Every structure is written in structure tokens, then in C-alpha cells.
Amino acid sequence: MAIGMLAERIPKIHLHCHLEGSLRAPTFIELAHKHNVPLRYRPGRTDVGTAFTDKAAEPDGVEHPYRFNDFEEFLLLFAAVNRSLKDPEDYARLAREFVEDALAQNVIYGELFVSPSVWTFFNPALDVRATMEAIVAELRRAQPLASFKLLPDLTRNFGSESALDTAKAVAAMTDLDVIGISLGGDEVRFPAPLFVDAFDYARAQGLHRVAHAGEAGGPQSVRDAVELLRTERIGHGVRSLEDAATVELLASRGIPLEICPTSNRLTGVALPGHPHPHVTLDGHGCIVTVDGDDPAIFRTSIQEEYALVEAVAGAVALERYVRNAIGASFADPPAKQAMEARLAAAVAELEVRSRS
């Protein structure tokens, strides 16, 4: 099979994907102009129209709205994207275009992060439930080709009380394809112990729990997410590689790691000696999945991430990672079986074609 063929054709499972971070760049520009908000967010500074505040040009001489230099700038860009989304119609468009892009890449299942506490931080009047309804109505249009569930994010930066409030709001939205909670944001300044109550609450409500850890934070952050928050999956987790015991903990407990190669490269998650952490983690017996994180902001796609992984680790590893993702998903057993069958059929067809 030609390199890249599997990545292009294989059915895809997207477990670590922020819906807002999937907003197409031209749509971001259009919405920002419509609502007269800047394409850059610089808290503490006066907004100056919709002009870019920094002027370094792209190689083609055209500035790209999704350009940033480090993790902090990325977080501010994520905030800027959220400021451009003002009403349920904007979120419906975001979800509609997400579905178009996902189906074009043969995504068959996804568990998406949304950040309602970020939405209302910038737009306190927003009706969160109406917004969720608008999003879900669009996501459901993908059926039966694909199905998408939601994991609203508690967002570390708003602290423990807000996280518990968000968890309570989330528990009242299970009719809107909400299946659990996630935890993103500033992992270093807002560590896991702050969120034990919110995660305990979610667990008692029967919600699934995932957390970003081992991205900006080190191995202790990953251990805390596992042992204190009892998270079922780890977003990133790549910095677990700094401590053999943490890698062993993840492998022995079978806690999957959602690996996002381009995201890690662009946010500067430094891993000397581990240019491709998924290879090392897979080699240590960890359950690895491949994901796009904020694909539009990182100017990638789930398909491109699959292609990167196929080029580095090979088609056999990529196929294993996709199977891992099916197993690591929160889909029910019949849905998992159906995904396994679609994957097996696609791989069999590709093998026949590559022989003929």
C-alpha cells in the first residue's frame, strides 16, 4: 500500500477535538468582522478595530489569522475565536462546517470538546442550552455516516467553583448528546487538586471524565489526573515520558492517551529524545490514539495527523491506533462493533486494491 493511502481512506475516530478550534479560518474572519471583534485577543489592551496587532507575514505574503508563537499565544488565539462566536446561529454554522469537513475526511465518530464557560466569559448573555441545541441539531445531520458526542470542558482557568457549576450544568444536558466532562486550559497554574470535587460530582452523575495533562505540565500532572480526578483518558500525556513510573502507570491501568502531533509541535511541548512520542508510548504498551486537537487553529486536519503518523510509524501502527480509538471511545458496545466492522471492511478493500 502506498504511503499515505491508509491515512486518506481509513475511517477516522476523533476523540480529542475542540469544536471551537475547528472553526474554518475564513469563517473566523467573517464572524469577527460581523461582530466587530479583533482577530487577536490581548487582555488588558484596548481593542483596535479588526486589524492584526502583529504584522509578521506568511511565506506567501498573506497574514493568516491562525498564527501564534507559543502556548500562551495559542490560548489567546483560542479566546479570540470564542469571542467571534456570539449567538446560537454562529455556533450552528461552526458545527455545520465541522460536519462537512469531518465527512470529507471519512470521520465516522467523534467526541468533541466545547467550552461553555469560555463562551459565557466573553458573552454573558448567551443562552448556553439554546447554543448546545443549535450545535447538536447540526451534528446529528451527520448520521448515519458519522455520529458525534459532546464533552463540555470545565476550563481550569476559571477555578474550582466554576468547574463544579459547569459540571452541574453539563449533567442537565445529557439529552443533548453530552456524555461527560473534559478539563483543558492552564494546567500549570490550575492543577488537578482544584478539580477533585467537580470530577467526583461528574462521576457520581454517571458522566465520563477526560482531562488534558502532561502537555504544559509534567508527569505529576498526569498522575494527579489519573489518581485524584480518576480520568478515563488523558489528553496529550506526552510529558509522561519524563518519568518511567508514570508511563508504567498509564500502561498498566490501560488509560488511553490522545496524541496530537502537530499541536504538540506548534505549542512547543518539548520532548528531547522523543520527536514522535506516540511511537515511544506505544512501544511502552500505552494505548495511543491520533487526534487533531484544534485542527483549524493548528492549520492541520485529522487526515493530516493520520498521514503524519502513518509516515513515521507505518500503516500497521496507524490501523492499531484507530482500533485503540474505537476501544477508548465512550460509544456503547454495539456502536463499537459497528465501527470495528467499518474499519475492517475499509482496510480489506484497501488491501485488495493495493494488490491489484
Q: Which residues bind Zn ion (CB under 5 A)?
A: 293
Q: What is the DSSP letter of 176?
A: G
C-alpha cell at 224: 494527579
Inter-residue contact 25 to 119 (CB < 8 Å): no
Min CB(228)–Zn ion separation in Å: 20
Q: How far apart are CA 40 and CA 65, in angstroms?
A: 8
For Zn ion, the closer of residues 212 and 223 by Cβ is 212
Measure CA of the first residue to CA of the last residue in the chain; give whole Å.
11
Q: How far apart are CA 35 and CA 48, in angstroms?
A: 14
Scan for cell 458496545, then name that residue: 333
Q: How far apart are CA 113 and CA 152, in angstroms?
A: 5
Active-site annotation holds for 349: no
For Zn ion, the closer of residues 293 and 305 by Cβ is 293
Of the candidates 111, 215, 258, 319, the residue annotated as catalytic is 215
Min CB(342)–Zn ion separation in Å: 26
Nearest by Cα to 235 from 213, 202, 264, 205:
213
Q: Which residues pair with 293 in a beta bridge?
A: 17
Inter-residue contact 238 to 259 (CB < 8 Å): yes
C-alpha cell at 153: 470542558
Min CB(198)–Zn ion separation in Å: 18
C-alpha cell at 171: 449533567
Min CB(188)–Zn ion separation in Å: 15
C-alpha cell at 104: 470529507
Nearest by Cα to 291 from 341, 228, 237, 353:
237
Q: Which residues contact 354 (CB under 8 A, 6 or more apart)?
A: 1, 2, 5
Measured from each CB, the residue nearest to Zn ion is 293
Min CB(215)–Zn ion separation in Å: 8
For Zn ion, the closer of residues 38 and 231 by Cβ is 231
Query: Under DSSP, is residue 152 helix (H, G, I), strand (E, B) or coil?
Result: strand
Query: Under DSSP, is residue 258 helix (H, G, I), strand (E, B) or coil?
Result: strand
Min CB(212)–Zn ion separation in Å: 5
Scan for cell 512520542, then name that residue: 277
Min CB(155)–Zn ion separation in Å: 11
Q: How far apart are CA 310 and CA 298, in angstroms?
A: 19
Nearest by Cα to 158 from 123, 192, 117:
117
- Would you please indicate which residues are annotated as catalytic (active-site) residues? 215
